[in-house]
Copies of this chain bind each other. A is one copy, B any other.
Amino acid sequence: MVETQHEHSGSATLAPNMVWDAWGVAAGHQPLSAQIRGLLGQVFGISGEPVPRRDAADVPLISTTLTTADRTGLTDIVGDEYLTTDPLDRLRHAGGKSTLDLLRRRDLEPQDAPDAIVFPADHAQVMALLAYCAAHEIAVVPFGGGTSVVGGVDPVRGRFDTVIALDLRRLDTIDAVDPVSGTATLGAGLTGPRAEELLGAHGLSLGHFPQSFEFASIGGFAATRSSGQASAGYGRFDDMVEHLVVATPQGTLDLGRAPASAAGPDLRELFVGSEGTLGIITSVTVRVHPVPETTAYQAWSFPDFAAGAAALRTVVQAGAAPTVLRLSDEVETGLNLARSADVGGNPVSGCLAITTFEGSAAHVAARSAEATDLLTAAGGTALGEAPARQWEHGRFAAPYLRDALLDLGVLCETLETATSWSNLATLKAAVTSALTESLAAQGTPALVMCHISHTYPTGASLYFTVVAKQLDDPIAQWRLAKTAASEAMVGTGGTITHHHAVGADHRPWMGAEIGDLGVRVLRAVKRELDPTGVLNPGKLVP
């Protein structure tokens, strides 16, 4: 059964996180200039006129299956005002923000969505909800900021009739701050900005700035092994996790007793990255640092990607300790130049690299000097601060641009992987070829650009952005290209995802990633903690 609601505004007490059919908030969406639309029209053979967005009230939504008895059972736990089946609330929890999600939102077919959304107040209510759902066979999708780009919060019912989204936004407190040890205990529902605001009151910062920063949640960062743009300096989110509290249908896990331990396997690492399939993370104690005294910005030009990558490698292997260290390939550098021409960006040929250093003035000066020597010796030309500051200024804006492109009938999506330094060029070439060849075979020439945004002593990430004209069925079009890219990754020694997680979209490749026996290990843990299988069905575990 499908219902179309003509009057709904969502629940009053719970402000929306993001708009239902695109990234972010309405104010973030700016139309592209006529000049850029004209350019896109030429390149991709499109009209350059955006398709108007739909009104949520016109969306045919599959009716909720929540029974009256279950509504009562759930509201007995959270209270009447913290359960909603309002269509707009359901739409806002209907998935994440992958291009596939956004294309589905634009689709005229009936939309599926969670049958209800519950907003527990605390860990105890999460535990009670899990017990209820396990006993009454209701699937549970944990929902933080809803920024997943891999189908991680899709309302998959699995073998159950009903699926609810368990929205963690009310777990939004900072529960303990230890400035001596540099740790803080954060509620799973805190967004990135709110966590920074609460820490900032103590003179502290987390330093985790993924592109999803403005909307994503602390629990989501942990559950998906998120990695921020300052990972060179402050580590991946995995590295920041000191302690976790995890709610499961079988009880609470309380993991991490010390900064380091030899007391057996590190079980935190089973739940970091578990994507709500093994339990729901309700609280995370993270490593924090004082708000840095100073930040030094520097941009660099390298003749080509190979030279730039080799230069980044020398910096990270020497332990020169930048906070941000990134490199755009020739295509991305050229396109960013085109985009930034209006705002006075420096002309950059070859490949643009960016470094920042944070800490005390003396610390920054020493590190920056060492990196400058290494990058110069490796063939880099210093470009000054401006391009680096400009990158930082616009670093959360790219997803809004994607929506503008989708509106114009242009397909735009990103994907990412990682590998060793020695395998980086091979992997980059393989993924680029897979994407361009798959899209070309479908009759749509593609632009594929790439950057390195996360570096390690032994290797680096590769982040690809793909742009092509949308075909009549852009979902099928992208699925073909994405499959080709994924096969190239696993066939060329890369990981299926460096920081976007597995969700529903990468699940078919988990066997290639960890082997059949590794999959059996995950299933064994899931059986133990979630014997009825209500936790986020259809995600992560094949």
Contacts and interface: CB of A to CB of B under 8 A. Distances in A.
A212 interface: no
Q: Which 9 A-B pairs have the closest CB atoms?
A: A269-B269, A259-B459, A524-B528, A258-B495, A225-B262, A259-B456, A181-B420, A261-B495, A258-B418
A474 interface: no
B418 A259 contact: yes
Interface residues of A, number: 100
A254 interface: yes
A506 B264 CA distance: 10
Contacts of A178: 420, 422
Contacts of A251: 516-517
Nearest to A459: B259
A265 to B, nearest CB: 4
Contacts of A318: 359-360, 363
Interface string A249-262: 01111110111111
Contacts of A498: 258, 260-262
A538 to B, nearest CB: 14
Contacts of A254: 515
27 contacts: A178-B420, A180-B420, A180-B421, A182-B421, A225-B266, A251-B517, A257-B493, A257-B494, A258-B417, A258-B418, A258-B459, A259-B419, A259-B458, A260-B498, A261-B495, A262-B501, A263-B495, A263-B502, A263-B514, A264-B275, A265-B272, A265-B273, A266-B269, A267-B514, A267-B518, A267-B522, A524-B527
Interface in A470-520: 493-502, 506, 509-510, 513-518, 520
Nearest to A246: B517
Contact of A248 (B267, B370, B517, B525): B517
A361 to B, nearest CB: 11
Interface string A48-68: 000000000000000000000
A369 interface: yes
Interface in A384-402: none
Interface in A255-289: 255, 257-275, 278, 287, 289
Given A363-B318, A515-B253, A527-B524, A263 B370 contact: no
A72 to B, nearest CB: 29
A460 interface: yes
A319 B232 CA distance: 12
A366 B359 CA distance: 15
Nearest to A150: B262
Contacts of A437: none
Contacts of A255: 514-515, 518
A373 to B, nearest CB: 7
Contact of A242 (B272, B287, B458, B528): B458
Given A254-B515, A263-B501, A319-B321, 13 more contacts: A178-B420, A180-B313, A181-B459, A226-B262, A259-B418, A259-B457, A261-B513, A263-B495, A264-B502, A265-B269, A266-B272, A267-B514, A363-B370
Nearest to A178: B422
Contact of A373 (B266, B317, B362, B517): B362
Given A264-B514, A370-B366, A524-B525, A494 B258 contact: yes
A236 interface: yes
Contacts of A420: 178, 180-181, 183, 258-259
A454 B523 CA distance: 36
A181 B321 CA distance: 17
A73 B500 CA distance: 48
A227 B261 CA distance: 9
A319 B363 contact: yes
A273 B263 CA distance: 7
Interface string A138-178: 00000000000000000000000000000000000000001
B457 A182 contact: yes
B497 A457 contact: no
Given A418-B261, A493-B257, A525-B521, A457 B513 contact: no
Contacts of A540: 264
Contacts of A267: 514, 518, 521-522
Nearest to A456: B259
A501 B177 CA distance: 30
B259 A460 contact: yes
A529 interface: yes
Contacts of A458: 181-183, 242, 259, 287
A238 interface: yes
